[in-house]
Structure 1
Amino acid sequence: MEEETGGFWEWVIPLAFLICTGWAIWHTPAYLLDFIPPDNPSLFDQMSELHLRKDVTPGLPGLFGGIADALDWAALILIPIVFVIGCLTVKVAPMEYPHWRSIDRIALFIGRVTMMMIISMTGVMLYEVFLRYVIEAPTLWANELTLWIAGFVFMASGIYAMQQRSHIRIFILYDLAPRWMQKLFDTISVVLLAIFAFFLVFGSYHQVFVTKFYKWEMFGTAFDPPIPATMQPMVLITVVLIALQAIVNLIADWNLEPTVHTAADDIDEEELEAIKRSVGSD
């Protein structure tokens, strides 16, 4: 099932999704004011002022009598479209988990978007280094933007890691157990993860979505990104997606032959061969 990877569209589609999502997140106050405006007049005025201060295209009029302009609506509409296209066209690389299912395309595409976030984060850091040490005109936003993107990378990569079965596991007792007991261990771990995800969302939903997200809490700095308003909801969304991916993994791996883990599993043969070639060793 391996396919040739690294094509043009494998770069463009995740990048397009990242741009549309980033635009929509930055202009979320416009969507909140249009779809679920606050009943409190002072909060409505506060969010309106915040949107005017942060709007990238203040000259564009809002559509349908609202505040979100044409670019805001275009980004919002394109997000699910590009996401579906990305999931349908994502290709599995040879080094990735081979026993994947169609539903794993979601996690695989999230992994591709995460890779683009790492590239964008690196670009922001290099840009800041150039401005700071060459032109001597550092920005007010590069450090916090890097921090913001890194938070998304840290959480989104967890979904991809779960699909790839690359999270940390201890196999001392697992490998000694018969297959039926291994399945029992897998089931217990997934059930515990699902319970944790449920109670985490149940206990913090109001705090996260009403206090942080709905009021669009900002970071309180010169750049003032909405890190509290976005990162806390992302924690809940990520935990739920990881729990769902764990359930998918359990079902997909149920009838697979047990894997025997040895010390050789820690050796990357391709990397070892690359090192040998670099030093001229046969």
Structure 2
Amino acid sequence: MIVRAISGLNEVVGRIVSVFAVGFAAIIIYDVVLRYVFNEPTRWAFDVAKQMFGFYFVMLGGYALRHKAHVRVDIVTEKLGRGAQRVADLLGYVVFFFPFTWVFLTRSWEFAARSWAQGEVTYGAIQMPVYPLKMAMCLAAGLLMLQGVAEVIKLIFDRQEASE
């Protein structure tokens, strides 16, 4: 039940956030056409596309983990049996993944809170607020950590989700 809820949350977030790829691609195409066809570059398109891509990239971490799309080094574990692979994966989560996501979560929270308190904006051609993107980093870290919990539960109980 917990695994299904966490994985479902990351699935929904991933599908919603994937729409941003269309948005920032459209903005890039718009800017390129204006710049090279009409010789009228925009002042805002690069900054907006960059922020949208940052949001897109960071928010898909939990979704990618759910679908096993993160980079893995299986050179050692591919030769092991299923039980030994599970133990190696569990150790990887405990030793590397959870400490990383904890640091990511706590530091991004501090980073976002400071940005929010200062009303931080970009220094480019237009002054866009930065704190929403920094808050998204904190949310993404939480989603990634939650998906890690779901993956560990699946490893402990040696279960695979039906949707994978």
TM surpasses 0.5: yes
CA distance in 1, matches of 2:116, 2:76: 43
Match of 1:110 in 2: 13
Match of 2:100 in 1: 196
Change (3 A) 1:114 1:174: same
Match of 1:210 in 2: 113
Query: 1:175 aligns to what SS in structure 2?
Result: helix
Larger radius of gyration: 1
Change (3 A) 1:255 1:204: closer
Paired AA for residue 129 in structure 1: V
Match of 1:85 in 2: none
1:129 corresponds to 2:11? no
Paired AA for residue 134 in structure 2: Q
Query: Which residues of 2 match residues 143-158 of structure 1 at below 5 A?
Result: 143-158=46-61
1:231 corresponds to 2:133? yes
* Structure 2: runs of 5 or more not aligned: none
- Deviations, residues 37-64 of structure 1 (Å, cap 9, x unaligned): xxxxxxxxxxxxxxxxxxxxxxxxxxxx
Match of 1:5 in 2: none
Query: 2:60 aligns to what SS in structure 1?
Result: helix
CA distance in 2, matches of 1:251, 1:121: 36
CA distance in 1, matches of 2:40, 2:107: 45
Query: 1:166 aligns to what SS in structure 2?
Result: coil
Displacement of 1:126: 1.6
CA distance in 2, matches of 1:202, 1:139: 37
Paired residues of 1:101 and 1:252 also in contact (CA < 8 A): no
Displacement of 1:107: 1.3
Paired AA for residue 137 in structure 1: E
Displacement of 1:200: 3.8
1:169 corresponds to 2:72? yes
With the length of structure 2 as denominator, give the TM-score of the two structures: 0.80
Query: 2:77 aligns to what SS in structure 1?
Result: coil
With the length of structure 1 as denominator, give the TM-score of the two structures: 0.50
> Identity, % of aligned pairs?
23
Query: 2:74 aligns to what SS in structure 1?
Result: coil
Paired AA for residue 103 in structure 2: F
CA distance in 2, matches of 1:222, 1:158: 30
Displacement of 1:237: 2.5
